[in-house]
Structure 1
Amino acid sequence: MTDVVIHRVTTLDLKVEPWEWPFAKQRRDDIAAHFAECRRAKPGLWNGRVLLGRNPRFADGLFEASYFETDFASLLAWRDWGFPDRTAFNGFGMGALRAADGAFVLGEMGVHTANAGRLYFPAGTPDLADVNNGVLDLAANVAREVEEETGLAPSDYQAAAHWDCVVTGASIALMRVLDASDMGEALQRRIEANLAAQDEPELCSIRLVRSRSDLTAAMPRFVTAFLETQFSPGEPSS
């Protein structure tokens, strides 16, 4: 199992700077062929511009890193090939929605997505729309992704002051707890109604997680690692 380290921070310093990723340049033809193959299976995949990080550092409640622009095809190939170049990391925010009764709210990714069947908190790879004056605004990214995927606006929840940065291999998932006022089942119904109104929702279903026994293999390790810190150590794990 991949080793996991969790850093709790209150300040993010994520500068976006020009940098040419050697992996993307050197493997350009292989990456293009891989993306073409992926699109044959899932025609809806889009090769947009995304942001990855490098030079991460944690110190005294601060997480800082330098982010650079690349294309989604390079990110996808890098992930599918086992992260062969560790000069970069995939650093993304996740909105850890928590209902008033303590249930966490996760969504199952739809069949047309690159992560079909996986259970995630609302999230998305940062892109240029999340950059403000040369800095990646991850709080704005999370708010946007939550609203796009669930229909919940920032006024529907209270965002925690801290981030739990879950480091697993070449990924850093920055979890921010978002406390909603609705109880679990009510929040689930509300989000599912929003999904039903969308032509092609990113999520196909909503799951509630109330204890370690609700954890499944469909959840990435960074999700289960975070959730394990939220429940009593004495609770059973599935």
Structure 2
Amino acid sequence: MLTSNISEWPLERAIFPVLRVDLRVVDGPHPYYRAEQTEIAANWDEEFAANPALYDGLMMLPRAVQIRDGVISGETHVVPYSTFLLWRKARPVASAIHLFSLPVIVSSDNAVIAIRMGKHTSNPGRVYCAAGSLDPGDIRDGICDLDGNMAREVLEETGLTLADARSVSGLHALHDRGVITVFRTYRFAETAAELIDRIGAHILVDPEPEIDEALAIRSSDPAEHLYLPFMPPILEWVFKNAC
């Protein structure tokens, strides 16, 4: 079975430029899913008992990922979300890698607009930029479409349209314990207060909101909020390079 050559990747938590992401979809069950079906089912029963709001939908779980000369490439399979919930507990990177895209929205007054996840989600209370896992709806001609994923997730969670951004940066990424975060910044013409008001209005009319509130972040202090691990280094990079 092909595996990811992590020893050849950039240093963990070091941000690097990305020219292209080429994740090709492979038919058939993921080898990790096939090998761990019993544990996946047992873990799902535990997770669902603790949080019945969880939904075992389909998502993409890559493997055999290479990072070379600014290109992230590899194979990815469609798996149930329960597969990822088990994987993230131990992160067996020889079997699978988690890769997702993160759109970093920056206001005209240089704040990063983030969201706090609701208590009913799989990341309760955590703060990060609106984003979500790649899923089958993000497949274009057999390849994962990260920009399409970012636009969809932001629209669903915040009501904002990324196409309205005044400027868009190139791609960058970092990895940490088998999780690759690929991000780009989207600078909007509105102030942080205006963007937060728009997101708040969206939350009020969303029949199934995933987020509790939107936040304006103006520093990279890792203790300011309950961040997921990728957020502090990305915030530090953004405030140095994009604000």
Calculate the TM-score normalised by the size of structure 2: 0.88
Compare 172-181 and 52-61 and name the one that shifted more: 52-61
Q: Using the TM superposition, give the Cα deviation of residue 50 of structure 1 relative to its aligned residue in structure 2, in angstroms.
A: 0.8
Q: Using the TM superposition, give the Cα deviation of residue 182 of structure 1 relative to its aligned residue in structure 2, in angstroms.
A: 0.5
Residues 102 and 64 (structure 1), Cα distance of their counterparts in 2 relative to 1, 3 Å cut: same
Matches of 2:90 and 2:224, distance apart in 1: 22
Matches of 1:99 and 1:132, distance apart in 2: 30
User: Which of 5, 8, 17 does residue 14 from structure 2 map onto?
Assistant: 5
User: Which of 168, 193, 197 does residue 189 from structure 1 map onto?
Assistant: 197
Contact 1:31 1:77 in 2 (8 A): yes
Q: Which residue of 1 aligns with 2:110?
A: 102
Q: Using the TM superposition, give the Cα deviation of residue 215 of structure 1 relative to its aligned residue in structure 2, in angstroms.
A: 5.0
Deviations 1:61-113 (A, max 9, x none): 3222221111100101111x221353211000111111011100110011111
Taking the TM superposition and a 5 Å limit, the aligned residue runs for 1:182-221 are: 182-213=190-221, 216=224, 218-221=226-229
User: Sequence identity, in percent?
Assistant: 29
Matches of 1:151 and 1:9, distance apart in 2: 27
Q: Which residue of 2 aligns with 1:34?
A: 43
Contact 1:7 1:58 in 2 (8 A): no
Q: Which residue of 2 aligns with 1:129?
A: 137
Report the AA paired with residue 38 of structure 1.
E
Q: Which residue of 1 aligns with 2:33?
A: 24
Secondary structure of 1:8's aligned partner:
strand
Matched, 1:172 2:180: yes
Report the AA paired with residue 34 of structure 1.
N
Matches of 1:61 and 1:83, distance apart in 2: 24
Q: Using the TM superposition, give the Cα deviation of residue 217 of structure 1 relative to its aligned residue in structure 2, in angstroms.
A: 5.3
Contact 2:221 2:232 in 1 (8 A): no
Deviations 1:100-148 (A, max 9, x none): 1110011001111101111111111111100011011110000000000
Residues 102 and 214 (structure 1), Cα distance of their counterparts in 2 relative to 1, 3 Å cut: farther
Taking the TM superposition and a 5 Å limit, the aligned residue runs for 1:51-70 are: 51-70=60-79
Q: Using the TM superposition, give the Cα deviation of residue 232 of structure 1 relative to its aligned residue in structure 2, in angstroms.
A: 4.6
Matches of 1:8 and 1:170, distance apart in 2: 18
Matches of 1:174 and 1:109, distance apart in 2: 20
RMSD of the TM alignment (CA)? Answer: 2.0
User: Which of 81, 99, 102 does residue 91 from structure 1 map onto?
Assistant: 99
Secondary structure of 1:43's aligned partner:
coil
Q: Using the TM superposition, give the Cα deviation of residue 154 of structure 1 relative to its aligned residue in structure 2, in angstroms.
A: 3.0
Q: Which residue of 1 aligns with 2:59?
A: 50
Matched, 1:228 2:236: yes
Contact 2:32 2:96 in 1 (8 A): no
Report the AA paired with residue 172 of structure 1.
I
Residues 70 and 158 (structure 1), Cα distance of their counterparts in 2 relative to 1, 3 Å cut: farther
User: Which of 153, 159, 162 does residue 161 from structure 2 map onto?
Assistant: 153
Secondary structure of 2:38's aligned partner:
helix
Residues 155 and 162 (structure 1), Cα distance of their counterparts in 2 relative to 1, 3 Å cut: closer
Provide the aligned length of Structure 1 versus Structure 2: 231
Q: What stretches of structure 2 of length at least 5 have no aligned partner? A: 1-10
Poorly superposed stretches of 4+, deviation over 6 Å: none
Residues 103 and 92 (structure 1), Cα distance of their counterparts in 2 relative to 1, 3 Å cut: same
Contact 1:23 1:85 in 2 (8 A): no
Secondary structure of 2:109's aligned partner:
coil
Contact 2:169 2:186 in 1 (8 A): no
